[in-house]
Each structure stands twice: as structure tokens, then as C-alpha cells.
Structure 1
Amino acid sequence: MGTLKQWVTLVALFWFLMNLTEASPTYTATYCSNNTTYTPNSTFETNLNILFYYFSTNISNPYFVTIVGFGTTNAVNGLFLCRGDVSATVCEQCVTAAAKEIRRRCPNQTEAVIWYDECTLRYTNRYFAINSVVPRLNFNDGGNISGVELGLFNESVFGLLTGLATEAENSGSVKFAVGEVKVTRSVTVYALEQCTRDLPEGGCETCLRGAIATLPSCCTAKQGARALLASCNLRYEIFPFYTLPPSSSSGGKKLGSGTVVVVVVVPVVFLIALIVGCRCFRRRSMKRRRNDNMNPKISDFGLARMIDINQNKGNTNRVVGTYGYMSPEYAMHGQYSEKSDVFSFGVIVLEIISAKRNSRALVTPDFDDLLTYAWRNWKDEKPLEILDPDLKESFSHSEVINCIHIGLLCVQQNPDDRPTMERVVSYLSNISVELPLPREPALFVGIGNDPKKILKGESSDQQTKSNSIQSSINDMTISNYFPR
């Protein structure tokens, strides 16, 4: 009997806690202007009471905006917005709680904003400019990120946030987007962005980009952070905190069905090369992999050698391998490191794009190797000139240019300038990440440049000229670039 009673008690307690969680939206922050106050029993207070009455009668909607006393000096502009992934019940509970709490926390204020995890509510006696970052609140969760390169983490976070700003702008009336990016095998960043629906075209992205710009001052290298503005808000964490909207294949229209951005990182280096080929050039014929003598167009690196465990760099007196893929520091000085493999990977990327071997890209006096050819066309703002002619009718401008950009970053002269493979993975997986400008590629070691002759100072004129990158290429926007 006692056991049955205990079970009944546990079930009742569980049910109570479930309902308590449903009925208790999570308070985040409040903004009170403290600039002007209204007089009790004034016309402004009457209009404010009417506004909150309208809130209560429209609480079944995920979004509501109105003006009471329009055209007068006592006008009150107000709205509430529920998060795009919460249920109608949670939305009602959040708005009800916010309407009570905002008046308690900001008594007699003519302007106030309150944020909950599940909703936002505001009222004001003026209008908020969409590009204004005031009122604004920023805060982080206090924890510093660990176990991942700081630069890579920040690039991944801000790349994801920037991409979601565009997704939210293009998500229709909901102005809502969530997404994630896998930075490393153990670290995934989740983010959510949303705007109020009264913003004009382009206003949502403008507001969110302004919110993103406020994060470096408070939240760099933090595990989680938020930027709360009057017309938009964003949040990122290293744990899931939102519910994915239902897919379009599900039957009815759901509350807050927004746009989802999911960025997946593939951690295997050679699989990346396959992805580059499949992504940019799906229709390539396998016949083009060999020449008329059935010799392969793309050779192996030929750099296999025994090294000590945990060794990531070294020197050798015996240079072996395929010169077309060798980094200059290895071919000329016997110095090898992980950046040597990055160089080889960059050559592979450019070979896949152009369908040409590095040892004989073009037989002309001006363009005698693939790296020089790719670099000169990049500087001349004609990167698509190196693209395999067979693919001219079936490719994405932005994807191809992005792949060329990554390839040039990998074959830079200075090994320290080349990205790590971890960073390359991030570049390939998240097109929103802003790529650094490539510098001049390394000296090509091929048919015309015997490494032994180079060491003796007898190299040919294969080395590319050290011209600076034109300023116009510095401002090139990949998503909007088209070849001439």
C-alpha cells in the first residue's frame, strides 16, 4: 500500500513539474529607458493600459504590433514577438508573464523592453530605428571556450551568425533562423536569430548584422553569448537550446516554421578533396583522368616516409616524391611538416578545378605552370578562366571561386601563411566564413625547375613576379562575382 502511495506521489510530482516548466517562461533581461516617466492617471497611462489590453486579446498570435493614440503626443507604440520555434501555449504564457513583469520592473517608464528566452515584449513613445543598437544588451555565459583553436572558433561562430542573418531576412514573414556548425569533432556551435516582423525589406539583416558587430566587445572566445536589440536578437551556445522547426513535408502550418541552416564538417582530409570534386564538378567524365597514353593526369604525392610518433615536422637529405605536389621547403631544403601536406592538397584542388596537371598547365611562355596560371588570373579578377571548359555550363560561380580561393591559400609561399587542415575543413564547410586574402603562391618545382639546380641558383624563370594584389580583388564579394 505504501509503495502504491509512493508511486502516486511521484507521478503527481512529475506531472506538477512538467506543468510548472510549461508555465514558467525563462526571464532574460529588461531595458528601462529611465529618461522620461509618465504621470499616473495621465493620457499616456490610459493608452498604455489599452495597449496591454490589446496584447491580452491577441495573445493567441505569435506576433502582434499596434499603436494606441496614433498622431498624438501620448501615442504608445508596442509589440510582442514569440520565438519562432515555441508552441502557441508557451507563447501565450510568455507574453502574459512579460506583460506583468515589464510594468513591475519599469514602473511609470515611457519606454521599456523585456526579453525572455521564449518571447520579447516592448512599448515606447517613439520609434526604434532599424540600424540602431540602442537599446541593447549584450552578455555571455561566463565560460571560455577550450579544446579548440581560438581563431577557428571565432571564425566559425561569426561565419554562422552572418549566414543566419541572411537566412532570417529571407525566411519570409517569420524572420527567424537557427543553425549549427561543427567546429571540431567535440565542439559544435548552435545559434538562433530572429527579428520583429515590422521591419522593412532588408531591415532584418541590417539589424542582425548590427547585433553581431556588438559581440566582439563582450563575447569573443566565449562558449555562449547573446545580443538583444529592440527589433532583433541573437544567441549562440555550444549546446542545443532550440527546437528544430518542422520540415515542409509535414502537413499543417506550424507556428514559427523558419529557415534552418545546418553546416556539417567532414574531418577526413582526402574526403575533402572528393567533396570539392563532387560539389563543384559533378559531371566530370572519368575519361579525362588519363591522357592518350593512359597515364594518370593527377599523380600521388609520393611523400610517404617513416616518422616518429607525435612528430609533426622534420628534415631529410633524401627528397622523394612527385615534384608537382611538393612544397618548396621540402623540395629545396628537405623540410617537411603538416603544411607540406596542405600545399599538396592545394595543388590537388587547383588540378581538379582546371583538369590540368601542375607540371604542364599551359604550354605558353607566360603561363608555364598551374600555380602561376591560377595566381595571375586571380589577380586579374578572372579566376574562372582556369575552369575546365567541359564544366562551363554546369557550375556555381560562388562555389568554384571559393574552391579556387582555398586552393590558393594552401599553396602560398610561406608555410606559416597556409591554413591548417582543420581551418580548411571549416572553410569548405561554411561558405559564410570570410577567407583571408591569398598571397603569392610558392615557386613551382616541375619539369623546368630541377630542385638540384634551384639549390645551385640555376633555376629558370618559373618564379612568378611579386606583384601586389589589386585593390579591387581585396573587395571582391564571392557571392556576387561574375567573370568578364
Structure 2
Amino acid sequence: MTYMKFLSFILLLYLFTRTSAQQSPFYQFSFCQNSTNKTPNTSYKSNVNNLILWINSNSATGTVYNRTTIGSNNNHDDDVYGFYDCRGDIKGNFCQFCINIAVKEIAQRCPNSVSAMIWYDICVVGYSNNNFPGKVFLTPSWNSTGPKTIKDSTELGKAENNIRSLIGKVTTKANPNWAMGEFNWSDTEKRYGWVQCNGDLSKNGCRQCLEAMLVKVPQCCGTKVVWAVVAPSCGLEIRDYKFYQVTDQTGSSSPLPNPVAAKQESANDKKTVIISLVSVMVAVALLSSCVYYFWRRNWLCKASLVGGFLLRTTSIAFHDHVQREDPFSGDLPIIPLTIIEKITDNFSQSTKLGEGGFGPVYKGILPDSTEVAVKRLAEMSGQGSEEFKNEVILIAKLQHRNLVKILGCCIDGNEKILVYEYMPNSSLDFHLFNKEKHKQLDWKLRLSIINGIARGLLYLHEDSRLTVIHRDLKASNVLLDDEMNPKISDFGLARTFEKDQCQTKTKRVIGTYGYMAPEYAMAGLFSVKSDVFSFGVLILEIIYGKRNGEFILSEHMQSLLLYTWGLWCEGKSLELIDPFHKKTYTESEVTKCIHIGLLCVQEDAADRPTMSTVVRMLGSDTMALPKPKQPAFSVGRMSKNEDPTSKCYKDISVDEETLTIVSRR
């Protein structure tokens, strides 16, 4: 009985999500403008609010297009001209539903704008201080594309011809201001087009607007199968699937149904329903079998099923901007290069956040208003296709509050791009090693960051489905959110272990100067203890406020690790604390963190604690800690105070750059 209830629930969930996806309006684009000649005063803002109320009430009458002017007495300077419109095939309640969503959204996105417009896939709302009815406005224009690329260059010409045939229909006197049509593309394919003009435009104005939009297509969208180009006065779109409702008003090439055809269509509809139900039942049976199978395997696929569902649900927000098939794992949305170029202003310097070891990072805002960080891998970065694929697969499956989230990726020719959640406070090194900003990191905040990084590493090592070795943990790979919570990032060098696997060896040693465990740098051996070593270095850097590599070149002429060890042996470890915050620290907490840091950087990997032990030690005030042994000599440069047998050749780069080969001792 329980099993049947479960099947019924899955069926209802499937039907509900499918129906919702088909019926929900999708946000496309918005434009907010503050005029240089006019500042929105109280009267103008009041008129805007009244306009929004009018749109809400008027759309409730079932009118799919209307415009009005809202003014205050005889002061025409404060007049607001507004309109709303729905796509030609959308009528009644559904049109009203979209308009209601749009007016709420435009009020939030453009609270103090003189002019504003917002587009959804089936409706548009706008207002301005200029009297625009009957005029052709071509700006602001925007475009969107689907993920599929055309097979040959002739396809663009065919699509343009199809759209021109619709422009011909909509600009004749006998037709309304919109048209939609179905076109035979090949023996197995069809194309579906849509054109529409503002209801106030004349037929000549409509043609002028649509032709101007069509001219833009080769530059913005010519290589894509699915595209749309839209301006305030008109818009046109073509897709490879039927996205509109066929009615006798659509301008479709299909004739109106006669009674015989209607009867045949009814029979076909019944067949379609039967086939759909059978398909759903088969899908439910397969899904149930999968759930049952993996339940017998201790629910190993639970995270994958839930994570994949959530990711796919989230991807709906991007609508046609996002391809839903992931070439690597099936869980990660693919964002077209055209969208990424648009949100980063074509990778301009003004949107650049910084430069990582594998390439620059830019800030952007996705079409659904999500702020993102766009990591563009440089061709000569050293991270090839394998590392890129590795990072995509790994981080898409990892979900933890102390790991940065990846929202999508892009592969287009030589371009390999990762799109992450945006971290407004940049990276830890930006604050920690900056002469002014590191003063803002008091001891309480530094301890919180240490604890957060430890929990993130513990998840990677022990709590995720696979044991994940990061291999490049450092201050620049720890990002800080708006509340200064740390999130581990950059999984390009990460490797996975099976749960019973302890360590492995590589011939290609990759990592960062100052953070690499000696057994990895010298012999290519890496394990969870390699990350523990890097974490120990990071703890000491957070306490002292300087890089390990920077420290070697300082007046101490030794590594931060050996300097800390010397202070520890002399009972002076508190001298390590950043002098700017000696008044904010708790002595016992600092001493404990230094102790844990020294335990993590011990020469022998077997002597280092696991991250689960580290987290327990950080969280306990009574736990007895073992005595640390002398730390490993710093990997990289040799100072005069270090053991001369500790020799590394200088095939490395400085400070935060990634090194590729380290020779044996």
C-alpha cells in the first residue's frame, strides 16, 4: 500500500512540475532609466504608483493591450505614459497573471526610475515620461539565444525568410499586430516563428520596427537555432518547437479545422493522452526501480537524485538561456557564451574581479538577476580539458555551506568557463595580506574563518559521497560571503578517493608554493593529510597575517613554520599573533590554534591529525592535544637558517602562482 502511495505521489509530482513549467511566465529582460533632465519627484512617483494600480485593474477586465496617461492636475511635466501588452495568443486570466507578476517586479527592480520596461516571455509592461504612443522605439533592445548551433550557414537565411513571411502577414490591413507560423524545415524538423508590434503602431511603423530588429539577427544570434530580438515597439522570435497556442488568430499557415478534421484531431488527442500516460507510468516504474535499487545500496544515490532535481528546477529560471543537458554528469546547466559575454560586458576590465592561477574572474548578473562570478580559463593557464571536466563534475555534486556553489558552465570552442555564486567580500588573501584590510579581521572573525574552512575540509574528506582531496588549499582559494563566512573554491586540481583508499601517487605534481606537503612535493604522494598540511599553513598565516612564502623573504630568514616552532619551543607562541589585534584575542584560543597548526604541518603525514580530529580539537576547551613534532621544512626556497639537505630546484613561480613541477630532494 505504501509503495502504491509512493508511485501516486511521484506521478502527481511529475504532472504538477510539468504543468507548472508550461504555464509559468518567464522573466526575460528589464530596463530602468534615470533621466539626466528629470529627477523623479513625489508627484511623479505618485503617478507611477497610480499607473501600476491602473494596469492591475485594467488587465483584470481581460484586455490584452492598453495604454494610458496618468497626470497631476495641469502639470504635464509629471505625466506618466504607460502601457501593457500580452503575446497575441495569450488571453484572459493567463494574460492578467503575467501582467500582475510584471508590475510587481518592475516596482522592485526600478523603484526610482523615470522610464522602465520589463519583458516576460508572454507579456510586457512599461512606462515613461515621454509620450510614446504611435512612435517607433528601437532602444533599449535585447536578444536571447538557445544552446543549439545551426548546422550550416544557409539556416540563418531560411529563418530570416520565414520571419519575413510573418512580417508580411502582420503588416497587411486585414491582420492584427501579431502573427505566428509553423514552417517545414526538413523532412524531420519544423521551425516556429512569432512577430508582434505595439498595438499603437501603424502598419508602416510596425514593418519599420520589425525590419530593424531582423537586421540585428546576424550579429547577435546568427549561429543559433533558437533566437529572439526584442525592442520596446516590437519583437520577433524563432524556435525549433511550438511555443505558442494555435488559434484562428495566430496567422499560422495551418487552415482552420473543419468538423471532420476536428474529429480526427480529437482522436489524435486521445492517442496522445494515452501515449503520455503510458510514458509517465514507464518513467515512474523506472524511477521506482532506481530508488529501490539504490535504497538497497544504503541510499548512495540520494544526494545525486535530490541534487540533480534541484539543479534542474533552478535551471528553469534561465529559461531558453540555459541548456539543460550536461555533457559530463547531467546535473549542471550549460550557459551559452552569448549570455556570459553579455553579462560581463564582453569580459571588460570594468567587470573584472581579479586574476586566478588559471585565468581571470569577472562579475556578472544572469537574466534572472542572480549575481555570479565568471571564471574564464586562460588557454595557457595549465588547466586543460581534464582539469576543467574534473572541476565541473566534482563541485556540481558537492553541497556544503563552506564550499562555493557552481551555478553553470560554458564550453564553446576554446572557451572553458565556470559560473559560480558571487562572493561579495572576495577572497581571504584580499583581506588577510592587505596592509589596511587585515586590520578589520579581529580575532573572533579569524577564528570563525578557521572553523569554517575546517568544516568544509571535513566534508570533502569524510562526509561527501567520495573522499575529495583538494590539493590546492590556500588563502586565495577561500572566498568570503556577505557575512564573511568562508567558502572553499577552485576544485580544478581536486582528486577523489574511494572510501577505503588512503593515498595515491602522481607523476604530475601541481600545487602552490608555501602550502605543499613535503611527501607530495618530493614524491608525488597525496592523501587527506596533504590537505591537512595546507590547512596547518593556512591557520598560521591567519594568526600571523602574512604569507608563508612572504615570511621566508622577511628579516627572519626562515619559514613561518620554523619560526612558529621556535616560538613554541621557547614558550613565546603568543608573539605570533597579528600585532593589530593583540587586544581582541583570547589567549587560550590563540595558543590552541597555534598548537593545532603545528600538529597539521608535521613532517610525517602519519603524525598529522585527520580533519575530524581537528574539528573536535577546535571545538573543545578540555581536549588534551598531543605534543607536536618539528614541522617540515618549507617547500620551495632554501634560506640560510634551514637544513641545507632540504633542496628544491627553482622550477616554481613565486607566492600565489601555481607550480607544475617540483624536483625531488
User: Normalising to structure 2: TM-score of the pair?
Assistant: 0.35
Higher Rg: 2
Between 1 and 2, higher relative CO (CA 8 Å, sep ≥ 6) is seen in 1
